[in-house]
């Protein structure tokens, strides 16, 4: 389904005019606006952004990796751009860094073209790239192209922050037409796997099973560990890539330079180097870090995600991950008791 309104009883129409972004809507307008789902397409039974085509997705799955390929694999909003930036710096492929803020040539030289997403751009584009190639993918392990002694870096992030970041991503990118979208609607879509990249847990478990098979060279990295200790993360990635990358980080000055350039503060500057500004409404690098889900999840949503996590990750390495990051704790919500005592409607119309 490309468009639709979710009219279940869990949603209530705001009693007065409601603000969505910079626009003011009357109650019935706000209700219809917030119930809308992100625009997407269904290809081979899976949900994809409208920019994707069946031909390119299928060609990506048939791509033949080269021995010196580095493939950055994630579910969306799990640290993809951060890992791309680190790898590009280690391998000395940083032409995108020379894009001046506001430059017209940004589209052709941005990071999204230097290490493109294979299922979006297709195998023909990847095959025309010079080696060593760096590219990324949000495909599950069973669909990722394999062989050729390529190196895979799989980055994971806790599902609550992943969902929250993905919600803002959908609001930000124009092709979703979801600028004023509602968090509750997106939460349900994410939990049902009806978003681009499909079901988060299918993706995670697929890759964990692939790592256990030990048939490919795969480095597993947790996003939370990366932002918590960038220095160690850069050294670990360099050791996995080997060769000149290890030599780069053996120089204290070069290591410090890469770490500083990979901080959130640094990555928020000159954002046209990541992808053209015309594709989205606001900043591409928005917030980063962990814990923003606490500003969006209801307690019921937190419990639902916890239960899904326990069910789907039982018996996997992930079962022991993210206990602190996913914990619901009233101390994190300084205004919670006041809201319980005096439940005024929130600014976005949710109660």
Q: What is the pLDDT of residue 29?
A: 42
Domain ranges of the chain: 18-341
User: How far from the centroid of its chain's Cα atoms is residue 151's Cα?
Assistant: 20
Task: Note if 138 is an active site residue.
Answer: yes
* DSSP annotation of 285: S
How far apart CA 230 and CA 209 sit, in angstroms, is: 27
Q: Which of 88, 138, 203, 280 is catalytic?
A: 138
Element (H, E) at 73: strand 70-74
pLDDT given for residue 275 in this prediction? 66
1.10.1060.10, 3.40.190.10, 3.40.50.720, 3.40.50.300: CATH of 18-341: 3.40.50.300
**Among positive and negative, which fits the CA dihedral 180, 184, 187, 188?**
negative
pLDDT tens, position by position, 196-241 = 899 999 999 999 999 999 999 999 999 999 999 999 999 999 999 9
Ranges of the chain with pLDDT below 50: 1-34, 103-106, 330, 336-337, 340, 346-351
CA distance 161 to 87: 23
pTM for the complete prediction? 0.81
């Amino acid at each position: 389904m490309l468009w639709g309104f979710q009219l279940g009883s869990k949603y209530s129409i705001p009693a007065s005019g409601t603000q969505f972004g910079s626009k003011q809507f009357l109650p019935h307008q706000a209700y219809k606006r917030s119930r809308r789902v992100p625009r997407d397409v269904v290809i081979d039974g899976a949900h994809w952004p409208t920019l994707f085509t069946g031909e390119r997705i299928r060609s990506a799955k048939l791509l033949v990796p080269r021995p010196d390929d580095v493939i950055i694999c994630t579910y969306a909003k799990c640290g993809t751009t951060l890992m791309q930036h680190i790898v590009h710096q280690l391998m000395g492929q940083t032409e995108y860094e020379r894009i001046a803020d506001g430059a017209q040539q940004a589209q052709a030289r941005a990071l999204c073209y230097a290490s493109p997403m294979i299922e979006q751009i297709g195998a023909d584009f990847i095959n025309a790239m010079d080696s060593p190639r760096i590219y990324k993918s949000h495909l599950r392990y069973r669909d990722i192209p394999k062989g050729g002694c390529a190196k895979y870096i799989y980055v994971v992030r806790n599902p609550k922050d992943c969902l929250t970041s993905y919600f803002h991503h959908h609001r930000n990118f124009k092709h979703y037409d979801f600028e004023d979208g509602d968090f509750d609607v997106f939460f349900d879509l994410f939990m049902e796997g009806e978003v681009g990249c499909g079901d988060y847990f299918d993706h995670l478990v697929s890759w964990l099973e692939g790592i256990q098979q030990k048939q490919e060279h795969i480095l597993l990295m947790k996003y939370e560990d990366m932002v918590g200790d960038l220095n160690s993360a850069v050294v670990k990635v360099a050791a996995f890539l080997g060769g000149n990358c290890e030599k780069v980080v053996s120089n204290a000055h070069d290591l410090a330079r890469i770490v500083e350039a990979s901080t959130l503060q640094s990555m928020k500057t000159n954002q046209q180097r990541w992808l053209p500004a015309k594709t989205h409404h606001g900043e591409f690098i928005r917030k980063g870090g962990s814990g923003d889900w606490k500003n969006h999840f209801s307690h019921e949503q937190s419990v639902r995600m916890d239960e899904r996590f326990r069910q789907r990750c039982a018996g996997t390495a992930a079962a022991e991950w993210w206990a602190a990051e996913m914990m619901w704790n009233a101390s994190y919500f300084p205004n919670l008791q006041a809201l319980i005592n005096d439940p005024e409607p929130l600014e976005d119309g949710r109660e």
